[in-house]
Amino acid sequence: MKKIFLTLLFFGFCFMLSAQTTPKVGDELVVKEPTAQNYRYIKFPKLNILVKRGKIANYKSVYNATVVVDDVMTKADGSTYVTLKKKDGSKFFGLKSTVKANYNKAIESKELSLTK
């Protein structure tokens, strides 16, 4: 009886944890620095495109930027993609108003973090 109770408690705890990782429209996130030179799971424009458009070729302008989840899409394979826009309403690099990101992988790689 004790084992059944502990098993049910464990499954309930796991269910609660998985429910907290699903994004909702309006959630606020913070863009952090990438571990490599480029962002891997957030689809920002490539650096050569920024240079062609007359912008500075670095991602420093989006470090610690607060973004808001505008749309949530779940693919058939279970991956969750979100559309992000800046909280202040300005465009990313003066070019794009929204960008897409793989939510789960961006959180795991610490390209995105949840605000408190």
- 18 within a domain of the structure (yes/no): no
- 81 within a domain of the structure (yes/no): yes
Distance in angstroms (rounded) separating the CA atoms of residues 40 and 90 = 22
Q: pLDDT of 32-85, one tens digit each?
A: 998 888 899 999 999 999 999 988 888 998 999 999 999 999 999 989 999 999
- Residue 8 has a pLDDT of 73
Range of the domain at 43: 23-114
| Cβ contact 65:28 at 8 Å | no
Phi, psi of 30 (to 5 degrees): -120, 130
- 88 within a domain of the structure (yes/no): yes
- 6 within a domain of the structure (yes/no): no
Total number of domains constituting the chain = 1
Q: Which of 99, 111, 104, 93 is nearest to 56 (CA)?
A: 93
Q: pLDDT of 81-97, one tens digit each?
A: 999 999 999 999 988 99
- 29 within a domain of the structure (yes/no): yes
